[in-house]
Structure formats: structure tokens, C-alpha cells
Amino acid sequence: MTLHTHPTDDTSPDLQQLLCRRNDVWRGMAQSQDAKPSVSTGHDVLDATLLNSGWPKHSLIEVCQGCGHAEWQLLRPLLAQTTTGHVALINPPTRPFPPALIQMGIDLDRLIIVEASQKADWMMAVLQLARTEAFTVVIGWQPKQGLSYTELRKCQLASMESQGLLFLFRPDSVLQQSSPAALRISVGVETDHLGVTVVKQRGLLAAATARVQLPLPRVWLGGFLYHKLNQPVLVPVKPKRTQRRHLRSV
């Protein structure tokens, strides 16, 4: 049987062209870095490390942190520059302290908090608010029950439908688990800086992790403690220089 085929039309794209048009297809070592919409992080050194120089839109951004929390220091510039739309905090670890937020320049009128301790409620809230155009930033803290890959995938899909940013704060212990998030970073508070490690960025090879240091506020580094005023100050005593008398030889 002879298969008659029509001559190929010169205007129809071939497979290579079709693949190149999409920026969500993995093509092995041949990675192309198409420009994606992003929002500046507010930290120049972090912007320089991230693809597209900022937080990627339409993507799930996973932030893993240890015992210490660093949410406000990491996101303060972003939230301070958010003048349109609302910011949602879903299941935060505790309630934010308004005087500190006002000092950071964050508009409390636009900050909405949703308390959802049950996983099903948490998922509903994240998916609903992430898809709402009115929210430019949605920040969620993983519920105690943890999140499966499927649930993370749902969050990722919701972020693709959103017009804003979707952050998910999780504990450090999940770094070893795989995640569909487009950007995964690990954050840790150090003595004199905030360490940010970019663990995964969609569009970069897995080995290309980067670590940056963000400065901490001056007051966090400490100052003079007033209660030590009454304590004796130990002044180191310089050893006396013994003068050797050189005996002249007679």
C-alpha cells in the first residue's frame, strides 16, 4: 500500500519551532532562558542571582527556612513597593505586629490574613486567593500536616493562572523532597547577614545553586547594653616593657 502524503506546507512550523515557542518544555542541556515577567525582589544582589532579575510571576516560589524566621526581611522591599492590589497571608505562624509593619512601610490596609489550620481549608484558601486578580502577593505557610507533591502541583498550577506572586514558606526539612515549584530558595538568619541559597530555578541546571548574603538591619547586630553600665570595665593592662640594661663590658 502506498501512502500518499501531501507536500509539506512551507508556512507550517516544524517540531523544533513549536518547541521553541513554548518556555515550559524541558529540552535537556539545551536550555533557553526566555524572559519571563518578574518583580524585583528589592535586593540587588538577589536580583542579580535570579533569572529574569526578580521574583518570577506565574510561578510557585518555595522558601525553606530553619528555626529562625526571615519572612519580613526577605519580602520587605517587595511588600513596601506593592501599592496596588492586596497581600494575603495564609496560615501565618502567628499574628504580625502592626507597628513593625508600619515601620517597614507595609500598608496594613492591603494586608489580609486568613487563618486556615486544616489542610483542606488551607488548600482552598490558597487556590482561591492565588487565582484572584485582586491579590498581587499571596504568602502561605505550610500547614502542620505537610504538603504532598500533588498538592504542591495544584499550588503551582494556581500560580500559573494568577497575575501576582505566590510564596510558600516551608521548613528546611523538605529540601530533600522534590517539588514542582519554579523557584526554591533556602533562607537562614546568620549572625550578621541573611543567607539566601537558590536551590532550584526553572531554566537552570540543578548544579547551579547560588548563595547570596543580604544585610540585616543595623539594630539586629546589637549595641551597647545599658545594664552593663554599672559593671566594672576590664581594661587590658599593657605589659610593662622591661628595660634591659646592657652592661657594658668593662
Partner 1 sequence: MDGYLRPKREQLWLAVRLPHLPLDVLGVHGDDTPIVVAEKRRVEVVVCVNDAAAAAGVTFGMDCTKAQILSDCSVLQRKQPQERHALKDIADGLYRFSPYIQIHDCEPVAQAAVLLEVSTCLTLFGGLLNLIEAIRQFLNATHYRFALGAGHSPQAAWLLSWTHQEITGHDIRADFIEQLKPLPLNLLHDYPDAVAMLEKTGFTTLGDVATQIEGRTITGLKKRLSREFIGHLCDVFGIDQALQQKSLFQKPVTQYHPQEVYRDEIEFEYPVATTELLHIPIETALQNLSDHLRQRQLECQEVVWIFYDIHNRTERVAVRCDVGQSDWRLLYDLTLIQLDNRALSFEVDRMVLECPQTTRTQDRRQTLNFSGLRAQSKHQQDLEVALAKVKAQLGDDAVFKMIYCDHHVPEAMAEAVPVNASCTKDLAPELATAVRPGWLFAQPYKAEMRKRGIYWRGYFELLIGPERIHNDWWESPRARDYYLAQRDDSARFWLFQDLRDGQWYVHGEFA
What is the footprint of partner 1 within residues 155-184 (CB under 8 A)?
none
Binding residues for partner 1, rule CB under 8 A, total: 53
Write each residue from 207 to 246 as x if it is in contact with partner 1 (CB under 8 A), else as -, in one continuous string: ------------xxxxx-xxx-------------------
Work out which of 9, 10, 14, 109 binds partner 1, going by CB under 8 A. 109
Angle, alpha carbons 42-75-89 (nearest 5°): 145
> Would you call 232 helix, strand, or coil by DSSP?
coil
Which residue, 34 or 161, has its beta carbon nearer to partner 1?
A: 161
User: What are the b/e assignments for 42-81, b being 16+ CB within 10 Å?
Assistant: bbeebbebbbbebbbbbbbbbbbbeeebbbebbbbbbbee
> Would you call 171 helix, strand, or coil by DSSP?
strand
* Residue 114 binds to partner 1 (criterion: CB under 8 A): yes
| In contact, 105 and 78? CB cutoff 8 Å | no
Pairing mode, strands 60-65 and 183-189: parallel
- Shortest Cβ 19–partner 1 spacing (Å): 35
| In contact, 57 and 164? CB cutoff 8 Å | yes
* Residue 134 binds to partner 1 (criterion: CB under 8 A): yes
Work out which of 111, 147, 183, 198 binds partner 1, going by CB under 8 A. 111
| In contact, 95 and 144? CB cutoff 8 Å | no
- Shortest Cβ 142–partner 1 spacing (Å): 16
- Shortest Cβ 109–partner 1 spacing (Å): 6
* Residue ranges that bind partner 1, judged by CB under 8 A: 66-73, 85-86, 92-104, 107-109, 111-116, 121, 124-125, 128-129, 132-135, 188-191, 219-223, 225-227
